[in-house]
């Protein structure tokens, strides 16, 4: 039998989208707007509106959208009971998957006309519910899930810290959610679109997407980068660490990308926020170590950091537990996934590719006594 090539469709076009464009030379645009402009000028809520509605909101539209998101945050009591039954050693992405799936049971999509409301509902519920699970399972505490914070970022951070959120912290997470919101036909988005092409409900599509992001070759690089950075205590150690890892043919997490060949445009954006947060922080060396590793990897391997690498120290400075890094990625990506689901279902043809058969040639049947 021939060996599978395992190309993974890399570099192959699998359809059309109007939502984003990812270019090899390091360009990312959402509906024509550069990620640099959006991160600098827009809130995550504006970006969410852009992806879901196809245009930037006017002032009144944005306020209405923010108010809707605020009103849809309340977590159903039945979901709270489910969260309380999930043990602390469960993978947090399995918790996100359970939240999305369970919401599909208690608030099903009866009509595609409900898809936008469901997306807004899930954005609010997942943000609150994952913190509730973490607090209950790790600290045996039932927390109040209401805050007066209008932004998703500030709401999440206030639930987590149970304190007022510094402006820089809220802005950093807000920008992070924008950076993670959409990224063309990546594995999880394509999973969601394949499911959507069968005309399945939005919850099933999103559950499938979450499952794909849970895989270590897609999501989780920020968590692995954080674990690596925690092993290093100084700049000198960082230089030796990289050399030793490369000599042993081991992978340094958070470097290189499946599409970008020169740079990941999101990386420098979150790097700047990590640097700002590090100033005056007791763990300032964490960012400095990350910069040394970045320099070493470029000097030795000509590999650049992807967006996950500097997200690790940035999230650490925000007080976010490492195990919640990838769930935050998923919460932001609910917007991109949903927009792709809308797009697929609006102009649908079932996604059913062919395969190159590499199995045995035609064979004659043998009775069991002759085998």
Beta strands in 26-162 (DSSP E): 27-30, 33-34
Q: Cα(183)–Cα(264) distance, rounded to whole angstroms?
A: 12
Contact residues for 77 (Cβ-Cβ < 8 A; gap 6+):
none
Distances (CA, A) of 318 to 117, 126, 168: 30, 19, 9
Q: 27: which strand partners? A: 23
CA angle 361, 363, 365 (to 5 degrees): 160
Tokens of 223: 């968590």
Look at strands 20-23 and 33-34 and give their pairing. unpaired
Beta strands in 167-312 (DSSP E): none
Tokens of 63: 């306020």
Count CA atoms within 13 Å of residue 131 on its CB side: 26
Rounded to the nearest 10°, the torsion over CA 255, 259, 265, 267 is: -20
Of 174, 201, 264, 308, which is the active-site residue? 308
Q: Is 281 a catalytic residue?
A: no
Burial label, 198 (beta-carbon count in 10 A; 0-12, 13-18, 19+): middle
User: Is residue 69 helix, strand or coil?
Assistant: helix
Q: Is 308 a catalytic residue?
A: yes
Q: Rounded to a whole number, what is the distance in angstroms from the first to the last CA of the chain?
A: 19
A 10 A CB-CB count for 16 gives 8
Q: Cα(142)–Cα(162) distance, rounded to whole angstroms?
A: 12
Of 155, 183, 201, 257, which is the active-site residue? 257
Cross-sheet strand order for the sheet of 20-23? 20-23, 27-30, 33-34
Q: Is 146 a catalytic residue?
A: no
Instruction: Please tell me the total number of residues recorded for the chain in this structure.
Output: 371
Q: What residues are labeled active site?
A: 218, 257, 308
């Amino acid at each position: 039998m021939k060996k599978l090539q395992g190309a993974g469709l890399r570099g192959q076009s699998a359809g059309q989208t109007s939502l984003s464009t990812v270019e090899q030379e390091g360009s990312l645009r959402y509906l024509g707007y550069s990620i640099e402009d959006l991160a600098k000028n827009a809130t995550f809520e504006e970006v969410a509106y852009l992806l879901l509605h196809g245009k930037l909101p006017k002032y009144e539209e944005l306020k209405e959208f923010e108010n809707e998101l605020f009103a849809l945050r309340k977590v159903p009591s039945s979901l709270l009971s489910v969260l309380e039954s999930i043990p602390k050693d469960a993978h947090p992405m399995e918790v996100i998957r359970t939240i999305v799936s369970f919401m599909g049971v208690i608030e099903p999509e009866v009509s595609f006309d409900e898809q936008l409301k469901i997306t807004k509902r899930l954005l609010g519920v997942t943000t609150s519910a994952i913190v509730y699970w973490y607090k209950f399972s790790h600290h045996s505490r039932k927390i109040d899930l209401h805050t007066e914070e209008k932004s998703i970022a500030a709401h999440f951070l206030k639930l987590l810290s149970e304190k007022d959120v510094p402006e820089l912290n809220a802005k950093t997470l807000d920008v992070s959610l924008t950076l993670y919101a959409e990224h063309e036909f990546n594995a999880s988005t394509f999973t969601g679109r394949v499911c959507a092409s069968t005309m399945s409900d939005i919850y099933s599509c999103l559950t499938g997407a979450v499952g794909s992001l849970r895989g270590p070759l897609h999501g989780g690089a920020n968590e692995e980068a954080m674990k690596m950075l925690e092993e290093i205590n100084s700049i000198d150690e960082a230089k030796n660490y990289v050399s030793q890892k490369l000599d042993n043919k081991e992978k340094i997490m958070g470097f290189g990308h499946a599409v970008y060949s020169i740079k990941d445009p999101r990386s420098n954006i979150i790097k700047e926020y990590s640097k700002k947060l590090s100033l005056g922080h007791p763990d300032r060396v964490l960012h400095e170590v990350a910069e040394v590793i970045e320099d070493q990897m470029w000097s030795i391997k000509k590999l650049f950091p992807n967006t996950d690498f500097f997200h690790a120290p940035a999230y650490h400075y925000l007080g976010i537990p490492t195990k919640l890094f990838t769930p935050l990625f998923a919460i932001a990506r609910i917007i991109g996934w949903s927009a792709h689901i809308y797009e697929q279902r609006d102009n649908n043809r079932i996604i059913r590719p062919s395969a190159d058969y590499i199995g045995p040639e035609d064979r004659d049947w043998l009775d069991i006594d002759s085998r």
